Amino acid sequence: MFEGGHIFSGRDPEHQTYRSRAHLASIIGLLGPPPPEFVARGHLCAKFFSKQGLWSDCGTSRQGLRLTALCPGEFDGGIPLNPPRALEEMETNLQGKDKEAFLCLMRKMLQWDPARRSTAKELLHDPWLKGQL
């Protein structure tokens, strides 16, 4: 739970229910595109990504949202990507050093590559959780 909801809803705009493609699209909206080497390791990568490693932008929709064109290596889940979101904009309850420290904690968890994520044990020693600001 984050800000009274979920960071990644996974609610598919076409089917109005949870779908993996919508979940993946919302992760891309926050973290940006996954590294090509991460995509290449996935056994379902062909289901969600085209075959090569190019990313591009195709402009703005009538609603003012940035749209991503389907290019080789792009998310190909059959739905458009949401506009990019910044974690700083999503966090509205904290201010100043508390907010900075909390966002630092969140970034330790929100990594594409599991090897780059902090472990639960490491997170227990985070200054924000320990109140050491």
- Interval 22-30 mean pLDDT: 89
Instruction: Give 75's DSSP letter.
Output: B
Looking at residue 65, its pLDDT comes to 46
29: CB partners within 8 A, 6+ apart: 81, 82, 83, 84, 85
At residue 5, does pLDDT exceed 70?
Answer: yes
**Do 67 and 115 have their domain in common?**
no
Question: Token pair 């506009």 is at which residue?
Answer: 83
pTM of the shown model: 0.73
Top-confidence residue, 29 or 83:
29
Query: Per-residue pLDDT averaged across 112-122, rounded?
Result: 93
Q: Are residues 2 and 52 in the same domain?
A: yes
CA 36 to chain centre: 15
Could you tell me the pLDDT band of residue 1, with boundaries at 50, 70 and 90? low
Give residue 79's pLDDT: 82
Last residue of a domain, one of 84, 99, 122: 84
Contact 39, 54 (CB under 8 A): no
Please say whether the beta carbons of 46 and 103 come within 8 A.
Answer: no
Number of structural domains found in the chain: 2
Domain that holds residue 38: 1-84
CA distance 54 to 124: 38
Does 13 lie in the same domain as 1? yes
Q: Are residues 104 and 59 in the same domain?
A: no
